[in-house]
Structure 1
Amino acid sequence: MDLISRRKVYVAVTSDGIVGTASLDGRVVRTVFVSPSNQRQGIGRKLMEAVERVARDEGVNVLSVPSSVTAEAFYTGLGYIAKSDSYHGDERSIIMARELV
């Protein structure tokens, strides 16, 4: 419950129910997910637009996102650049960032 109270959480809803989520935790995007059956429909892009808009309004100049290997191309397409790698055991995350202008 502590995480949800400090993050701004966004959901994408269709007639099927909740199909996607994203959240903003200060200067970091977290929990971006779109159900596999709803991917490649612009839902992830819309969620990221909402997160970026709020981050800008809050004065964030650079937004970062820890990306999975499979999501790297998605974030690259949104203008994020890989900055470093982070490992939790064998799991690799790519820390990506984008300037908000």
Structure 2
Amino acid sequence: MDCVIRNAISTDAAAISEVVVAALRESNAQDYSPDIIKRVQQSFSPSAILSLLTQRQVYVASIDGHLVATGSLDRNTVRSLFVDPAHQGKGIGSRLMATIESMAAQSGVKLLRVPSSITAEGFYLALGFLKIRDEFHGVERTIIMEKVLGD
């Protein structure tokens, strides 16, 4: 079972949407209300993903040709990192983040930010990110985290 990480392409949009929606419904639903999950998942329809592909550096991880994770880099900010629930806890998210951090560093980013969900806060802490503050969008809590890249 070899995990391949690559740049996302337009034909990945539907599979990316499926991974995000599955993670939202199974993992994030433990920390967020059904209304918040429903609202957030609307931002990740296949057509919305196609739009994001033109705005960010989007990456995907696949195993045996099956897309199992996605994440993106928007200048100095990590966005939309999701791992299919069946593949969580296997190091795929960490490998995807290592790729994103490397690409950010190559682009000259010194301070990488991530607006983390409550669900992913521990994941990012384990990767060396530090909590800066909480932000609220209505009742939706997001944890703003940062990591210094390089020396």
The TM-score normalised by the length of structure 1 is 0.96
Which residue of 2 is the match for residue 5 of structure 1? 54
- Read off the aligned partner of 2:116 and give its amino acid letter: S
Which residue of 2 is the match for residue 23 of structure 1? 72
Distance 1:16 1:38, change over 3 A: farther
The TM-score normalised by the length of structure 2 is 0.65
Deviation at 1:4, TM superposition (A): 1.7
Runs of 4+ in 1 over 3 A off after TM superposition: none
- Distance in 2 between residues matched to 1:32 and 1:3, nearest whole Å: 13
Question: Which of 45, 48, 66 does residue 115 from structure 2 map onto?
Answer: 66
Gaps of 5+ in 2: 1-49
Name the SS of the counterpart of 2:61 in structure 1: strand
Cα shift readout 1:18-48 (whole Å, capped 9, x = no counterpart): 1000000000000100011100110000000
Deviation at 1:2, TM superposition (A): 4.1
- Equivalent pairs: percent with the same residue? 47
- CA-based RMSD of the aligned residues comes to 1.1
Is 1:99 aligned to residue 99 of structure 2?
no
- Read off the aligned partner of 1:28 and give its amino acid letter: T
Name the SS of the counterpart of 2:120 in structure 1: helix
Gaps of 5+ in 1: none
Aligned residues: 101
Deviation at 1:16, TM superposition (A): 6.4
